[in-house]
Amino acid sequence: MAKKQAISKSKHSSAAESRPAALTRPPIVVVLGHVDHGKTTLLDTIRKTNIAAGEHGGITQKIGAYQVTVGANKITFIDTPGHEAFSQMRGRGVKVADIAVLVVAANDSVMPQTVESIKIIQEAKIPYVVAINKVDLPEANVDKVIQDLLRHNVLLENYGGDVPFVKVSALKNEGIKDLLEILILIAEMSGIKGDINAPLEAVTIEARLDKKTGPVATLIVRNGKLFIGQKIYIGDTESKVRALINDVGQRINETLPGMPVEVQGVSAVPQVGAVVSAAQERLQGEALKGPPRQAAGTISKENNSEGQRLNLILKSDNLGSLEAITSKLPANINLLESVTGEIAEADILLAKSTGAIILGFNTKVSPVATKLAETEKVLVRTYRIIYELLDELNDAAAGVLEPLHKEEVLGTGKIVAEFPYEKMRIAGVKVADGRLARGDMVRVLRGENVTGESRIKSARVGKEEVSKIEAPRECGILLDPQIDFTPGDDIIAYRFS
């Protein structure tokens, strides 16, 4: 690893010596690659390792992007569902990222979504670095990855090209420092600049309707600054900045170029990719508008050979995910509703009256909705991986999949403590409703966001190993695979029936 980093640095050392110690604006980086190749783990590891734990108690929320500090510089990472959302932004003529990281698993090598990601990066004409992940696995084969990438015109350094690559293990936090240093080096060579005194230029990367604060949008400022009380324009909508929340949950008064921030006070939920300015005449008009959305209750004219249509209600944690999904829906899907938020009682009633199914991405089902769905025989299913949702929806629309299973909640609880156990972590849980049992599938939520899914490998009450714990008892549970959790998170045990 050190040798590889030395090669990358020495190749550009003469140019680096003449550059200033700090960038004028943090580079904005997007991470792309095949599902299950470790993009989320890589982003989580970078976040945990490079943001000081003392900052407002560490990470308190995910707003769609975050900044990390590397020496005298900062890097802004876009934390999106993947290349689908990135394509949506680019499709509107908006420059979102300065640099891309292409993640390829050393045990899988190049896969279909790797190829799609390569195409997107090359069409965007932005510099990129390849992160060969999971090199710690016994079946890892870095040489095969390199050869497969060469077949797809990814010419790596020392293999006929100039694309740097780094061997990493996101799970074990190996090679992450090397990756960050190479990103800074690429940013310096690309001459990325920002001017706090320039007119405001920001890009919407996430948006949602919050039950308490109303419409909110996550923006990344490319130039200029945002400040409290400022009048801004998103599309044709005028808004006034009421509050600014940074990526560690702190309220701030103003931003710097390259900074991600959640804005409260926007008049309406904007489209992902919409450009934000402080002057209405700088708007790009049609370029800011998203693809036309099918009105609720309308039927697509393109149906399958049998004329069958599948009514769908779609819920997600944010607008970016919704747009990524709706852009890929099969032609014979009748999208009745596509909104952010948890799956609620009203969604079940609408599905019952229209014969629809309900799919949720990275969101949860309220307890009331769960019971009502059981009573009304409404099919509800949630996902954490966007491609699994689309694959099963395509099968359902084509009539080759049995009716989607509905999710049955077995029990809920609150994680109240964390205990180290060898190289693993035990979650201390207070069961609030139902029961938790060995072998249960579980989902961990932090507020409205799903942080991970796993299974209960073992459970203990005191020193006694038990197979099941019923409310309102407390217990310690070991999850396999290990996922991110912290005291205060909710945990839900479920099964598909």
The 8-class DSSP code of residue 292 comes to P
Same fold, 201-288 and 408-496: yes
CATH of the domain spanning 2-190, picked from 3.40.1190.20, 1.10.150.120, 3.40.50.10800, 3.40.50.300? 3.40.50.300
3-state helix, strand, coil in the chain (%, to 5): 25, 35, 40
Instruction: Report angle CA 389, 452, 382 to the nearest 5 degrees.
Output: 30
The pLDDT score that the predictor gives to residue 23 is 57
Q: How many CB atoms neighbour CB 12 within 10 A?
A: 17
The pLDDT score that the predictor gives to residue 100 is 92
Instruction: Report angle CA 130, 99, 207 to the nearest 5 degrees.
Output: 115
Mean pLDDT confidence for 441-456: 83
> 429 pLDDT band (50/70/90 cuts)?
very high
Instruction: Write out pLDDT tens, residues 390-420.
Output: 887 887 776 644 445 556 788 999 999 998 8
The pLDDT score that the predictor gives to residue 18 is 40
Mean pLDDT confidence for 52-72: 64
Q: Tell me the domain boundaries of the chain.
A: 2-190, 201-288, 310-399, 408-496
Q: Looking at the DSSP assignment, which residues form a beta bridge with residue 369?
A: none
Instruction: Write out pLDDT tens, residues 212-265.
Output: 788 889 999 989 999 999 999 986 788 999 999 998 889 999 999 999 999 999
- Residue 132's closest CA among 156, 165, 179, 99? 165
The pLDDT score that the predictor gives to residue 453 is 81
Specify the CATH number of the domain 201-288: 2.40.30.10
| Residue 291 confidence (pLDDT) above 60 | no
- Residue 408's closest CA among 385, 384, 374? 374
Q: What is the pTM of this model?
A: 0.61
Would you say 133 and 105 are in contact if contact means Cβ atoms under 8 Å apart?
yes
Q: What topology does CATH give the domain 310-399?
A: Rossmann fold (3.40.50)
The pLDDT score that the predictor gives to residue 294 is 34
Instruction: Write out pLDDT tens, residues 299-312.
Output: 333 333 344 578 88
Task: Write down the CATH superfamily of domain 408-496.
Answer: Translation factors (2.40.30.10)
Instruction: Write out pLDDT tens, residues 116-172.
Output: 889 888 888 899 999 999 999 999 999 999 999 999 999 999 888 899 999 999 999
- Return d(Cα 58, Cα 487) in angstroms, integer: 13
Radius of gyration of the chain from its Cα atoms, rounded to whole angstroms: 23
The pLDDT score that the predictor gives to residue 377 is 83
Tell me the residue type at 484: D
The 8-class DSSP code of residue 161 comes to B
Would you say 276 and 202 are in contact if contact means Cβ atoms under 8 Å apart?
yes
